[in-house]
A and B are shown apart, each in its own frame.
Chain A
Amino acid sequence: MSAVRELKFEIVDADPGYVEQKLGAELYMHLRATGTIVAFRRRSLNRAFDLYESVKTEDEQGALGLLVLQRAMLCIEGLGGLLCALDGPSFERLVSYDLGDITAMFARVVADPSLTTRLFRFGTADAIDAEPDLSGEQRSALKRLAAITALHLDADLLTVRGFWEASHEEAKKTMHGVGFLAGRHTIEEPGAGMISRLVSRDQPRPFAVPLTTRVNPLTSQVNTEVGILDLRREAVDRFREAAIAALAATEILANGILRGVETNHAFTLPFLYAEHLSDEDQRVIDELRRQRDDAEDEAQKGVG
């Protein structure tokens, strides 16, 4: 029997027509799963980092540093894939992107702040101005919340992109046959021959040496490129930090879009960073939040 499955789902928390128009039903279903996926990835990442911190020998640190790198990559690729899918939006892209698509996407979001706002469907200043039934005080507080949210998100995306540019090719090697030498085997006698010539004897340890071989199709010449991957605690912690930033951005992305679709709003603004606002702005935002919750409770009662 074929294992390709017939799937059935029913959209109950949103207007199905609006979902289809804005996202497509399958992508909507995946977004609803994303919160649990993020929680699972976060726990996996932290488990790997705790393992890394629990070991003492250079070999063990090398091994577990690579495990943290792999799990960080999974978190970051998850965000990249979701961004590719929402830049459309298209479920097909969620299941068909390749690494080049993610490279291009991370480059675009860093280069074009308006793209972040568009992909995350944040309320812009214009959108806030156009929102009815808001006081001037509320509009100002919301605009400042939008600015602070964008600031934090851009910082997260910059961290993610930094990881991607520096490490995604190495990280992928942890999933493709582990094409690394353990650093110590390149600098301890008798070494790794010609590879050792490219590695400083003073290289701080532990580290790994990623190998990438390319074959020139015209000449059949084989060339193996040699890199250095720092696996000391500071470096491994940077992998983890990039992953945490990616998970935070993924949550904001999925929650915001879901909320918009489920409440028929074109834009949303998370309250996540409201604590960074002034006391007065926080008071205004808290009041808005209460009004929103009350309205939703009323609507819920109406449905009941």
Chain B
Amino acid sequence: MPDPQTFLLPSRAFILSQRDQNLPLRRAALADAEAHYADIEKGGYLEHLALVALIGETLQIVEDLGALANSFFAAPQGTAFFAALTNYNSRAINNFYSSLKKRPLEDFLQLLGFRIGGVRLEDALVFEPSLTAAVLTALEEVHLATATLVRTHMVNLANDWDRYRRFHHAFKHGLIVVNPEDVSMVENRQTKIDGVCVWMRKRDFAYGFGQIEPPYEETMLYVVGMGRVALDVLTYLVDFRVNFFDLVDLRGDGSWSLRPMQRVPWLWWFDKKDVSQESRRVITERFGIEFS
């Protein structure tokens, strides 16, 4: 068992803080940016600013997700994940998302906590009565289905990160959005094109970056959807960890004992088509869980 004072208790407090403070912060920020966009008069520079701000608030959530997930992968041996998360590195999130697509499904099983150091959680816990081969097979299927769904969401978010991160940088660093009332985007030096454009950061010359074309309502809806998916994945990662900590009665002096297991230690989240009816039946029969 890791040291409670340096590892378990701070990690528990960090995960609970994500649930109680940081996720509500992001939910409120996304809802407010969406409402602010709805409130402003459409058709001018203000609409561009509101859209870039909405993208910025949304990509904050994608960044949070990347930071948390990366910390589970990147924390050195013997170091709590939150130490990796709070050791800021400006390249970490870009590197994390750019390499995400290449990660095997096994990595997502680790990320979610179905595997810890290559050991399946079900092999590390004592179940009474012990798990049958049929139950173990069904568990493997739902774990893989959950990892598949989370992987799909995160790879999609990685693509969104790549597509929108320059807007996010413009939002965070001066709201450097090009004003279409003064500056036009053109193609072939002649043809004016409509769209939201930002000044690119860290360039030695004035470059515009723009790929958002009207109608902006479509982009707004897409971005809000992206934010909600990122919140769902982040909430899922956090709730799963909270579930783990519920297995242990940790006390302030560092002593601990296992709690009687009131419910299964896993949280599953999958597309029904990825899990056979038979496996769902086996799990329902063994653990009394109904799938919605």
Contacts and interface: CB of A to CB of B under 8 A. Distances in A.
Is B a genuine binding partner of A? yes
Interface of A: 3-9, 26, 29-30, 32-33, 36-37, 39-41, 43-44, 47-48, 51, 59-60, 62-64, 66-67, 70, 74, 77-78, 81-82, 91-92, 94-97, 172-182, 185-186, 189-196, 208, 211-215, 220, 222, 224
A67 B27 CA distance: 11
Given A67-B29, A178-B22, A195-B10, A37 B49 contact: yes
A36 B200 CA distance: 19
B67 interface: yes
Interface stretch (B99-107, B110-118, B182-190): B182-190
Interface stretch (B77-85, B134-142, B220-228, B270-278): B77-85
Contact of A191 (B24, B203, B252): B252
A271 B174 CA distance: 26
B14 interface: yes
Given A74-B175, A189-B251, 15 more contacts: A8-B185, A40-B175, A44-B53, A47-B36, A59-B20, A63-B21, A66-B21, A92-B204, A92-B205, A191-B13, A192-B12, A193-B9, A194-B10, A196-B252, A213-B84
Contacts, number: 230
A176 B186 contact: no
Name, among B4, B85, B189, the residue most crowded by chain A CB atoms within 10 Å (CB to CB): B85
A29 B10 contact: no
Contacts of B211: 3
29 contacts: A7-B178, A7-B183, A8-B184, A26-B206, A30-B176, A33-B179, A36-B49, A37-B177, A47-B35, A51-B28, A63-B22, A81-B173, A95-B202, A96-B202, A176-B67, A177-B71, A178-B67, A179-B86, A182-B20, A185-B17, A186-B13, A192-B10, A193-B5, A193-B10, A211-B86, A213-B82, A215-B87, A220-B76, A224-B86
Interface in B1-34: 4-10, 12-14, 16-18, 20-22, 24-26, 28-29, 32
A224 B79 CA distance: 11
A48 B32 contact: yes
Contacts of A91: 206
Interface residues on B, range: 35 or more
Interface of B: 4-10, 12-14, 16-18, 20-22, 24-26, 28-29, 32, 35-36, 45-46, 49-50, 53, 60, 63-64, 66-68, 71, 76, 79, 82-88, 166, 171-179, 182-187, 189, 192, 195, 197, 199-211, 250-252, 254
A164 to B, nearest CB: 15
Contacts of B35: 47
B16 A182 contact: yes
A300 to B, nearest CB: 20
A67 B251 CA distance: 32
B174 A78 contact: yes
A43 B32 CA distance: 11
Nearest to A12: B182
A3 B185 contact: no
Contacts of A82: 174
A196 B4 CA distance: 12
B208 A7 contact: yes
Contacts of A30: 176, 199
A174 B61 CA distance: 10
Contacts of A40: 46, 49-50, 53, 175
A214 B83 CA distance: 8
Contact of A177 (B63, B166, B202, B208): B63
A184 B85 CA distance: 20
A92 to B, nearest CB: 6
Contact of A95 (B76, B175, B176, B195): B176
A6 B184 CA distance: 8
B251 A190 contact: yes
Nearest to B59: A175
A74 B76 CA distance: 33
A51 B71 CA distance: 31
A240 B49 CA distance: 21
B252 A213 contact: no
B182 A29 contact: yes
